[in-house]
Amino acid sequence: MTLAVTTANGPGGSGTETGHGAGRPRVAAADHGAMWVYIVGDLFIFGGWFVFYLVYRAGEHTVFAESQAHLSQTMGLINTIILLVSSWLVALCVNAARARSYDEAARYAWLTILCGAVFAATKLYEWTSNIAEGRSFTSNDFFMFYYFLTAIHLFHVLCGFIVLGVLVRTLRTPALRSQGVIENCAAYWHMVDLLWVVIFALVYLLR
Amino acid sequence: MAARTHLTVILVLLVSVTVLSWYLGTGGGAHPMAPNLTISAAVLFIALLKVRLIMSEFMDVGTAPAWVRRASNAWLVLFFAALFMVHIAVSGG
Amino acid sequence: MGEQMASTGQRICLWTAPVVGAIWVVCFFLFPGFTAPLSPTLPAKAVAAFYADPDNLARARYGMILFNWFGIGFLPFYALITVQMERMAHNSEVLAYGFLATATSAAVLISITILFFQIAAFRPDRDPAIVQLINDMAWMTFTVPVSFLMAQAGILALAIFLDRQPKPIYPRWIGHFNVLVIPLLAPCVFASIKLTGPFAWDGIWSYWVRIGLYVVWTIVMFVAVMRAMGRTAETPALTAAMPALGTGDA
Amino acid sequence: MSRQGAMIAGPPPGIKFPARLAWHWQHNRQIELWIVWWSMPVFYQIFTITYFVFARTMPPPPPHWNVAEIRDWVALRHSGIDIGYILFYLTIGLPGWHIGLIATLLKRMTISPAFAYAYLGTMAAGTVPGALLNGFGYSLLALRPGRDPAALAFLYEFANLTFVGTMGVFFVASFILVVAILLDKNDILPKWFGFACIWNLTTEFTVAPAWIFRHGPMTWTGGISFYWNMVVYGTWQIMYFVVFYKAIKKIPSNLSRPAARAEPVSLSARGSS
């Protein structure tokens, strides 16, 4: 069941750029509204969780610092770089789509999905190695937050695969091409990357 | 072509800043994570910078509807201020 | 044509109601706790003794097994009412779907009640306090949630009053009857706070009046559905003519 | 599609409140939709009063209490629990109506009716474990305070965990709503609301640790799993009312019978079921 993210072109909304005149970077507001509501909302929801993380970190500073030392910061660094590259790729994809070279854009989209898969794989590896060493969700508050934040983020990455799937389908089938959908999907993936950047700073590096 | 190079420059900037914050954060990976206010402040600031870059350059918040720009800026200011406050209030106090 | 085939299916749904009703009556007399309802004031030991008594135990177990099989039995009948509600001269089928949703919730509850009775009867030599707890849960789920039936009757009454067409699906007095059911069922919620008196779960109102009301409601609805089915089967074109009639000036 | 007046030129101006209602009852072609819609705020108002004012089981008492603390709390709240849950037991049937409204809107979309029936099925089954068992738990606590400690602790957890912990039902129902709204071309419900339902879906993840923890922010009364979830759920609930209000306004009154539904694709032959 493919999930076609059709833009909000209700009776009142302006038509989307279906395949013609996609060169115009500014897309009518009506097409962008839907995903942005979600992105902004999700940012604030995550913001709330980050504040809770810091409040609890303030309470048990030593426990958090010790547990943080157990985490492998280099693994976190690799993950961050992978997602930054994937964000770059999806930006290139949008850029190529604007220049209407859709095959190139589709290639970039596939590369983004690949990066996402690598990120998910390293994340699962990191979890299993931590759990193997006895540091699980219930060992202490730090690891509770660690598994909670990374798990919710991984859920967003998995949803990202669906969204990127829609992006590839939109790029592949000329009838469906609409710049609004392409930019919506890219914006979602940027949000996923952006949230990881903050998680990396808070969970791995904060002293 | 200009847009592509522009994006690549942004990527390089982001990656290098990330490596810098990693280096700062782990203190070169030498001694364990001794609590240190200036380093965490630097790490938080770098994170703020990265988020701002991703939003404006990659996400094209500029082309998004106006309320999105205002809302994401408000989130940045509000959220990072809260982070600084909570963090400094603890280790400083 | 579709209409003829459907009415056979509908007739089967219709006649499941009396069959399930008859089986429920058998369950009522089989389960010792129904003919003489357990009083909420019984101490834990007495409740445990009730289940431990070999004669009660056998009747309880077999009665509840039978009830478990047919506890959900009225849903085809409710589905039939939903189908007929969809034929009413309304602007949308919101009332039909609302009826089906509340009917489903009510049916889920009856199943939960049966499960608690069966668990209590499964190990009667359990610690009396726990047997009492399970028995409390059973009676609570059996008596207190009358609001689903009230919502069911309410939305049905609403649909009947709004069904403005020359030959409405159900006569208006059934709407009034459903409206009457609501205040009659309402006091049963006091079974959640009262241990004695008419509204306790073995009280006259919360037990006998409620069960009697449910029986009467089912019989009345059975007759109404049967009559409505008779009429719609004769004039299958009724659905097609619906939009033209529903011009709101009836 | 131009919207034929849902009512013929609206009620005559200047008539008093009861007369307006009588007029709407007689002439408004979408009166049943509006009655069901108005039952939503009414129910959620009573729902809030029951939990937050009378019984004060929201925000719920903490999970790390021992039996003595539970018994004292129940003794203190005894009359509040009684009154609150009486009100609750009288009105818990209304969500069935709301499910009917949403199923009708889903039926108006250009997607298969399977979504409407799936939504109706999941939510109708979900009302019972989602809210009602919470009521039974607390009522039985209040009914027999001198109960055996083990039974008391069981009822206390039974009440709180079934209420907060019924996740799958609302997760699947929200997922059905998200997919339906995003696929729909009739634009019955706005696309942004489709995305907003994903927040509601995510709150089911954040409440999951309540099944594991008895201390900290992720218990059934914790900062993240309860309070922040309430903020997210609260905003979604307000959007929920506004969006359905607009959707009903948008349904043209001649789009009454499902068979007559304006579907871009070929008219699905609707048997007389």
Interface of A with B in 97-116 (CB under 8 A): none
D233–A contact, CB cutoff 8 A? no
Of C91, C140, C239, the CB nearest to D253: C91
- Total residues found in chain D within this entry: 273
Min Cα distance A71 → chain B (Å) is: 11
Answer whether residue A2 shows pLDDT above 50: no
Residues C105, D90: C-beta atoms closer than 8 Å: no
Q: Across the interface, do D196 and A37 touch by the CB < 8 Å criterion? A: yes
CB of D177 within 8 A of CB of D232? no
Instruction: Write down the CATH number for the domain with range A45-205.
Output: 1.20.120.80
Dist CA B15 CA B20 (whole Å) = 9
Residue whose token pair is 């002439």: D27
Q: pLDDT tens for chain C, 250 residues: list them.
A: 344 445 788 889 999 999 999 999 999 999 998 988 899 999 999 999 999 999 899 999 999 999 999 999 999 999 999 999 998 988 888 999 999 999 999 998 999 999 999 999 999 889 999 999 999 999 999 999 999 999 999 999 999 999 988 889 999 999 999 999 999 999 999 999 999 999 999 999 999 999 999 999 999 999 999 999 887 654 444 444 444 433 333 3
Contacts of A152 in chain D (CB under 8 A): 202, 205-206
DSSP state of C169: S
Could you read off the pLDDT of A176-202 as tens digits, one per residue? 888 888 988 999 999 999 999 999 999
Best of B44, B68, B72 to mutate (most A CBs within 10 Å, chain A): B68
pLDDT in the model for residue A31: 52
- Burial class of residue D95, CB neighbours in 10 A (0-12, 13-18, 19+): buried
H or E stretch covering D51: none
Annotate C112-151 with DSSP letters as a single string.
Answer: HHHHHHHHHHH-TTS-HHHHHHHHHHHHHHHHS-THHHHH
CA D87-D90-D91 angle, to 5 degrees, is 90
What is the SS3 assignment for A178? Answer: strand
pLDDT of amino acid A25: 45
> Which chain A residues in 114-173 lie under 8 Å from chain D, judged by CB atoms?
137-138, 141, 144, 148, 151-152, 155, 159
Burial of D97 (0-12, 13-18, 19+ CB in 10 A): buried
Q: What is the value of ipTM here, to two decimals?
A: 0.83
B51 touches chain A (CB under 8 A): yes
Count CA atoms within 13 Å of residue A179 on its CB side: 25
State both tokens at A189: 């993936």
Q: Nearest-CA distance from A103 to chain B in Å?
A: 16
Contact call for residues A36 and A27 (beta carbons, < 8 A): no
Q: Looking at the domain assignment, is residue C40 inside a domain?
A: yes
Helix locations, D67-217, DSSP H = 67-91, 95-107, 114-127, 133-143, 149-165, 168-183, 191-206
> Which of D187, D196, D232 is opposite residue A38, by nearest beta carbon?
D196
Of residues D43, D125, B60, the one with CA closest to residue A180? B60
Pick from A36, A75, A95, A205 the residue to mutate for testing the B interface (most B CBs within 10 Å). A205
C243 domain residue, yes or no: no
Q: Is D194 on the interface with A (CB under 8 A)?
A: yes
A80 neighbourhood in chain B, CB within 8 Å: 18
Q: D87-134, pLDDT tens digit by residue?
A: 999 999 999 999 999 999 999 899 999 999 999 999 998 888 888 999
pLDDT digits (tens, 9 = 90+) for D8-64: 567 777 778 888 888 888 888 888 899 999 999 999 999 999 999 998 888 899 999
Give the domain extent around C154: 7-232
D150 vs C130: CB contact, 8 Å cut-off? Answer: yes
* Per-residue pLDDT reduced to its tens digit, D141-182: 999 988 889 899 999 999 999 998 888 899 999 999 999 999
| CB-CB contact of A93 with A163 (8 Å) | no
Cα separation, C203 vs C68, in Å, equals: 25
Q: Do D209 and A35 touch (CB under 8 A)?
A: no
| pLDDT on residue C112 | 92
Task: Tell whether D255 is within 8 A of chain A (Cβ).
Answer: no
**Identity of the residue in B24, B65, B83 whose CB atom sits nearest the CB atom of A32:** B65
Share of residues in chain A with pLDDT > 90 (%): 58
Alpha carbon of residue B64 to chain centroid = 21
* Beta carbons within 8 Å of D234's beta carbon, 6+ residues apart: none
Q: Do C149 and D147 touch (CB under 8 A)?
A: no
Q: Do C127 and D148 touch (CB under 8 A)?
A: yes
Put simply, the answer to whether C100 touches D132 (Cβ < 8 Å) is no
Confidence at residue C232, expressed as pLDDT on a 0 to 100 scale: 62
Residue ranges of the domains in chain D? 29-255
Subunits touching A (CB < 8 Å, at least 3 pairs)? B, D
Total beta-carbon pairs less than 8 A apart between chain A and chain B: 148
How far is the C-alpha of A148 from the C-alpha of A140, rounded, in Å? Answer: 12
B and D touching (3 or more beta-carbon pairs closer than 8 Å): no
Does D85 contact C192 at a Cβ distance shorter than 8 Å?
yes
Indicate yes or no: CB of A183 within 8 angstroms of CB of B63.
yes
Q: How far apart (Å, rounded) are the C-alpha atoms in residues D176 and D197?
A: 10
CA dihedral A33, A36, A37, A39 (to 10 degrees): 170
Contact residues on chain A for B93, CB-CB shorter than 8 A: none
List the single residue in A with minimal CA-CA distance to D208. A148
Which residue in chain D is spatially nearest to C102 when comparing CA positions?
A: D96
- Among candidate residues A104, A111, D144, the one with its CA nearest the CA of residue C44: D144
- The Cβ of residue D119 has, within 10 Å, a number of other Cβ atoms equal to 25
A99: closest chain B residue by CA: B1
Reduced to 3 states, what is the DSSP secondary structure of residue A18?
strand
Closest Cβ–Cβ partner in A47, A66, A87 for B75: A47
Chain A residues near residue B15 by CB distance under 8 angstroms: 81, 84-85
Q: Is D208 on the interface with A (CB under 8 A)?
A: no
Residue B29 distance to chain A (closest CA, Å): 9
Interface test with A, best of B18, B44, B57, B67 (most A CBs within 10 A): B18
Nearest by CB: D212 against A138, A141, A159: A138
* CB-CB contact of A167 with A110 (8 Å): no
Interchain CB contact of A21 with D (< 8 Å): no
- Report pLDDT digits (tens) over A137-162: 988 999 999 999 999 999 999 999 99
Are residues D192 and A138, on separate chains, in Cβ contact within 8 Å? no
Q: How many domains does chain C have?
A: 1
Instruction: Assign C87 to helix, strand or coil.
Output: coil
pLDDT in single tens digits along all 93 residues of chain B: 688 888 999 999 999 999 999 888 887 555 556 677 788 888 889 999 999 999 888 888 877 788 888 998 999 999 888 888 877 776 654
CB nearest to C94's CB, from D33, D123, D140? D33
Backbone angles phi, psi at D136, to 5 degrees: -60, -40
D205–A155 CB contact, under 8 Å: yes
Output the DSSP codes for A24-78.
-SSPPHHHHHHHHHHHHHHHHHHHHHHHHHHHHHHHTHHHHHHHHHHS-HHHHHH
A and D in touch (3+ CB pairs within 8 angstroms): yes
Q: Residues of C56-92 as b/e, b for ≥16 C-beta within 10 angstroms?
A: bbebbbebbebbbebbebbbbbbbbbbbbbbbbbbbb
Residue C61 covered by a domain: yes
- In three-state secondary structure terms, A193 is helix
Buried b (16+ CB within 10 A) or exposed e, D207-237: bebbeebeebbbbbbbbbbbebbeebeebbe
Interface test with C, best of D26, D86, D141, D272 (most C CBs within 10 A): D272
Q: How far is CA B78 from CA B66, B81, C54, D35, in A?
A: 18, 5, 70, 42
CB contacts, 8 Å: B77 with chain A: none
In this predicted model, what pLDDT tens digit does every residue of D193-202 receive, in sequence order?
999 999 999 9
Asked if residue C2 belongs to a domain, the reply is no
Contact A190, B11 (CB under 8 A): no
